[in-house]
């Protein structure tokens, strides 16, 4: 079932999205990726990982209501 997902944008992804946070309706992370590309086509050129509720996802999976998905471009600390 589709759920409202909070998406947090970071780094260059935040510049592309033009906001720090956005809501999407998606039932799984694979669908969410497609919706992200549809809404922000420039994200197709960005290498990124997704974190679900603060943990980096190793593979796509189901999403549930109130899940928080963070879009993480390559880290650049230090």
Partner 1 sequence: MTDNFLVAGPITSVLISELMTLGNHDSGAGAVSIFEGRVRDDEVDGKKVKALEYSAYNEMAEKEAAEIIRVVKSAFSDVRTVLFVHSTGIVKAGEVSLFIIVTAGHRDHAIRACRQTLELIKKKLPVWKKELF
> If binding is defined by CB under 8 A, does position 72 make contact with partner 1?
yes
Longest C-alpha distance within the chain, in Å? 41
> If binding is defined by CB under 8 A, does position 69 make contact with partner 1?
no
Report, in Å, the least distance between residue 1 CB and partner 1.
27
> If binding is defined by CB under 8 A, does position 52 make contact with partner 1?
no
Cβ distance 72 to 11 under 8 Å? yes
Report, in Å, the least distance between residue 10 CB and partner 1.
6
DSSP output for 13-36: HHHHHTSSEEEEEESBHHHHHHHH
> If binding is defined by CB under 8 A, does position 48 make contact with partner 1?
no
């Amino acid at each position: 079932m589709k759920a409202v997902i909070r998406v947090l944008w970071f780094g260059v992804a935040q510049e592309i999205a033009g906001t720090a946070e956005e809501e999407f309706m998606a039932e799984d992370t694979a669908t969410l990726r497609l919706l992200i590309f549809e809404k922000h086509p420039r994200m197709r050129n960005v290498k990124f990982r997704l974190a679900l509720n603060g943990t980096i996802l190793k593979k796509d999976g189901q999403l549930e209501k109130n899940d928080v998905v963070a879009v993480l471009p390559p880290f650049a600390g230090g």
